[in-house]
Structure 1
């Protein structure tokens, strides 16, 4: 009885499986329903332990078949076809929604860790997502977010909405912010609102719009340490590097020599102009060796001696490599921004949640100075983070690097892999992928993109290689093709593979629309939030503060009641520090 019942059951199951594979879904469902009768009969006549054993074996077999590579690929393909190759509502809710970001609050913000289950649930419901995440775009009623520990890269041509989107992220940042820009747009839009969170400073090495620098930074700061001197030299030369082959060789030679000379100047309490004099006339650098004998690193003495005593041709090549990194010394605005009696204190910047705007311009020679300051802030923040709970800054430091390739080409290929885990959020904006390749080279650019947790592509590009790259990254989908005869009757139905987002569609994205590639889910096409549509920005614009130039009226920065943590000492005593003035103190010079 049991044997015949089992045979009937197996035959019905095999028939249903065969019908399902051939597409006869109705017949397969009917056979499964019929198989329920012998299955129930068999269960009544079989001991319980045998049923459990068979169930365990059956579950193991099904799990193995589900986890096989072939099954995984087939399942992914079916999901891709069903969703047209883009992220579904459930994908966004599972990976990139606000609740998904709040679930990681305890790891990215150690101070927000909750001990009880009830507190964690309340945090999941009430915690503002901007405290632990960065808003990327909107897709219908949903918002797509990236964690504050993710490295975000933005590509977009002029007037596509990139700057307006970045302004919103600067306003939302919960901790200190460092902003680089080639215009004062970001300063005009965000400085009044950032002033309510902490002090606001300007480092204007190019004299843009007549704004005076309210902080200063001497590139020799900290260069008494050999490691800092080497990093500072690499940052300054990195702003003017390029090419390959022989160029890379001379860049390496220039970094070693410049690090030795800056180390010697710092040990002797000298100025960057002395470094410029040694590079321009190596024969006058006889004092360098005596200064470097105070250094704990003997290799610097050898580097300086080799540079001074080498032949004229080699020395000339090294000099021509270093000189572009020191060209800012010929600019009065840049030289003034680099001279200050009080060193720039990164710890105070982080504690007071300050905002620093670094202004530069492509046609000036100030990029090495801006890059050196950016590197100094980031590396000091990383050092401070090592002593914080969880090894992270809390709240995180945000580096909003607009036009990074032009004025602050910091080593993103290495920072992007490390800074996120230290509590440093990096948002780097470029005009195109071609610009990234031109500045960093093919290998470093590829590393930078690989480390990016989210990539946002605005429209405006016309480069074929860029468009094909993004279309390939988006993948392909099945497009149904219907063929008809001369009388309009359907002759055949087929499918063909087409890009999920075609190159022409990416090139012609309207302003404010963006294609977002986020780790962990398919691409999405969404709408970005423009800063000028925000309620806080619009409220400020109605009062006139939004459009007033900072150099004309900075009184709005003194209106909010600053807490003691915001009362930071002036960085440059000889400059007006409008950002740190209290309402009852007025202007200070």
Structure 2
């Protein structure tokens, strides 16, 4: 404990500051005089009127006041003298201003959080070096575009630099609604992506902002079975394409089950039995060359032996026997299992949704294996809640990312350029049941997955506490934005951020003098209330192996070129509005209207 002795109490207070005030005034006066003396001489010399300086004395200041510049620098124009003073003042002031700004920036930064030195691997030089190691196509190039080196996260608060994650990082972002998920994360990731893009959403905002720009890069595929953007159906995807194996059929069945089951970690008898039945039916349809509408017919009539026969013909007797056992079981049990299975795929009863997953010779087929090695963009749009196509969306998203894994293995282990998968509203429209287990695997294959959730609790409702913990642990980059209201979760984050020492001075006075002592106590670097009250547009960055840092997001509308993108977004939004109005006219959808016009057109 440090102690500093001083004078008696009668000499404390303002009297202690008086000598320092005199010194400050004298120092300021000397500085002003020196700048005037040296600057005037500098102006005289530079203009060719000689370098003769007046005496460095108080009399010089008096003569400047009484006689002006002519008395000190004869023959030199006053403009030249004062110009020299101004130039010298600027040369001195600029470094001082930068120093003050630097010191203020350090004082504004929350003590205990990571700074530029700790985040060097995520700064421009560090992330560029990492990109050359991860992407063979960048080796040998002297200059790289920043977007080729990593994914932009934001700027270190308060004064930068910009921070980027590497192409082997996978990300989990938790932010409340209207806290910047779309403008600061989803849109910039799509616009800056170097390779193929996959985006899921239950709104058309990201689609409207990014579609025109992505169309410049490659082909745009819009999978919009429920009319979020009211786009005409211009593609189809083979829902049964990956169901030729038991694993593929079970994964697809799991996506439909997860779309109606709030916690995939907790499956009751009916849910598990329905998934087994759907697995068998998907497998029978894929192996037997049937269509999805045939599968719906099998579900409507459990007595139909067609799927059992197709499984036997495909040399899958065990699967056929299992399905037959379900059909021959107690009527109440069988009907319960089939009714549960019917509920999970109920969205396919809508002919508008069914059309998107049914082969159509007049339209191109979306092929995930071709998409991941191109620079195309896939928008997966679906409503949430009852009747949503979340199971179909999850199936297509999963098929695309797994196709990326296969393509990465063919490239030697990693996609180059990487695949960007932005799973916006993942808990509502893209419930991939084993996403927590796949996360780290995707990162090692050059598949940059960004999962956007409104809260930790929302994720736990879908994947369970264990699954959400696994997803949290697997994410190498985590961004926590504004509006996190879960008290328990925010308290845990405050604990993870840690504590720092706070130095507290205390002064005691007596007749023998005054003594100052210091004590130390620990305080949370970011208390829970500060984490909850993070301003919009900022986020707490948790990166593996690095102390937490506070960053400022970079919304797309504040970046260069935003005017053009904004104009394109406005035009796209107007087009969506017009298409929505057209769909409501006469109660006829655009898809039906276009089909009727196509069929009626002369050949």
Q: Same fold (TM over 0.5)?
A: yes
Is 1:234 matched with 2:260?
no
Q: CA deviation at 1:505?
A: 1.0
Q: Flag the 1:446–1:249 CA change in 2: closer, same or farther, 3 A.
A: farther
- In the alignment, structure 1 segments of 5+ residues that lack a partner are 1-21, 25-81, 555-571, 577-588
Give the equivalent residue in structure 1 for 2:398. Answer: 375
Equivalent in 172, 185, 192 of residue 153 of structure 1: 172
Partner SS for 2:325: helix
Partner SS for 2:520: strand
Give the structure with higher Rg (CA): 2
State the aligned residue count: 466
Give the equivalent residue in structure 2 for 1:104. Answer: 130
Deviations 1:348-403 (A, max 9, x none): 32343100111111124210010111111111221122111x21111111111101
Is 1:223 matched with 2:243?
yes
Give the equivalent residue in structure 1 for 2:465. Answer: 442
Q: Flag the 1:243–1:177 CA change in 2: closer, same or farther, 3 A.
A: closer
Q: Write the distance in 1 (CA, Å) between the matches of 2:324 and 2:114.
A: 60
Equivalent in 295, 300, 317 of residue 319 of structure 2: 300
Give the equivalent residue in structure 2 for 1:137. Answer: 154
Q: Is the contact between residue 149 and residue 424 of structure 1 (CA under 8 Å) also seen in structure 2?
A: yes
Q: Write the distance in 2 (CA, Å) between the matches of 1:241 and 1:337.
A: 24
Partner SS for 1:196: helix
Q: Write the distance in 1 (CA, Å) between the matches of 2:210 and 2:287.
A: 40
Give the equivalent residue in structure 1 for 2:527. Answer: 502
Partner SS for 1:391: coil
Q: Write the distance in 2 (CA, Å) between the matches of 1:136 and 1:289.
A: 52
Give the equivalent residue in structure 1 for 2:302. Answer: 282
Q: CA deviation at 1:502?
A: 1.4
Give the equivalent residue in structure 2 for 1:45. Answer: none
Q: Is the contact between residue 226 and residue 382 of structure 2 (CA under 8 Å) also seen in structure 1?
A: yes
Q: How does 1:16-415 map to 2 (within 5 A)?
A: 84-93=111-120, 95-114=121-140, 122=142, 126-139=143-156, 140-165=159-184, 166-243=186-263, 247-283=267-303, 285-341=304-360, 342-363=364-385, 364-388=387-411, 390-410=412-432, 411-415=434-438
Partner SS for 2:451: strand
Q: Is the contact between residue 189 and residue 537 of structure 1 (CA under 8 Å) also seen in structure 2?
A: no
Q: Write the distance in 1 (CA, Å) between the matches of 2:519 and 2:316.
A: 71
Q: Flag the 1:308–1:460 CA change in 2: closer, same or farther, 3 A.
A: same
Q: Write the distance in 1 (CA, Å) between the matches of 2:214 and 2:594.
A: 21
Partner SS for 2:501: strand
Partner SS for 1:195: helix
Partner SS for 1:365: coil
Partner SS for 2:218: coil
Q: Write the distance in 2 (CA, Å) between the matches of 1:131 and 1:299.
A: 50
Q: Is the contact between residue 138 and residue 144 of structure 1 (CA under 8 Å) also seen in structure 2?
A: yes
Q: Is the contact between residue 412 and residue 448 of structure 1 (CA under 8 Å) also seen in structure 2?
A: yes
Equivalent in 443, 466, 482 of residue 459 of structure 1: 482
Q: Which moved more, 1:231-240 or 1:529-538?
A: 231-240
Q: Write the distance in 2 (CA, Å) between the matches of 1:532 and 1:85.
A: 32
Q: Write the distance in 2 (CA, Å) between the matches of 1:423 and 1:448.
A: 18
Equivalent in 492, 501, 513 of residue 469 of structure 1: 492
Deviations 1:134-167 (A, max 9, x none): 1112012311211111110111111111111220
Q: Write the distance in 1 (CA, Å) between the matches of 2:438 and 2:347.
A: 25
Give the equivalent residue in structure 1 for 2:554. Answer: 529
Q: Which moved more, 1:237-246 or 1:509-518?
A: 237-246
Partner SS for 2:422: strand
Q: Write the distance in 2 (CA, Å) between the matches of 1:108 and 1:246.
A: 38
TM-score, with structure 2 as normaliser: 0.72
Q: CA deviation at 1:494?
A: 2.6
Q: CA deviation at 1:306?
A: 1.9
Is 1:430 matched with 2:453?
yes
Q: Write the distance in 1 (CA, Å) between the matches of 2:574 and 2:358.
A: 21
Q: Write the distance in 2 (CA, Å) between the matches of 1:248 and 1:273.
A: 27
Q: What RMSD over aligned residues (CA atoms) do the two structures have, in Å?
A: 2.8
Q: CA deviation at 1:550?
A: 6.0
Q: Which moved more, 1:498-507 or 1:243-252?
A: 243-252
Q: Write the distance in 2 (CA, Å) between the matches of 1:245 and 1:154.
A: 22
Q: CA deviation at 1:98?
A: 2.0
Is 1:516 matched with 2:541?
yes
Q: Is the contact between residue 209 and residue 565 of structure 2 (CA under 8 Å) also seen in structure 1?
A: no
Partner SS for 2:216: coil
Q: Flag the 1:392–1:162 CA change in 2: closer, same or farther, 3 A.
A: same
Deviations 1:195-243 (A, max 9, x none): 1111112100211242223322232123223332122222222222234
Partner SS for 2:289: coil
Q: Flag the 1:575–1:199 CA change in 2: closer, same or farther, 3 A.
A: farther
Q: CA deviation at 1:319?
A: 2.7
Q: Flag the 1:245–1:450 CA change in 2: closer, same or farther, 3 A.
A: closer
Q: CA deviation at 1:192?
A: 1.2
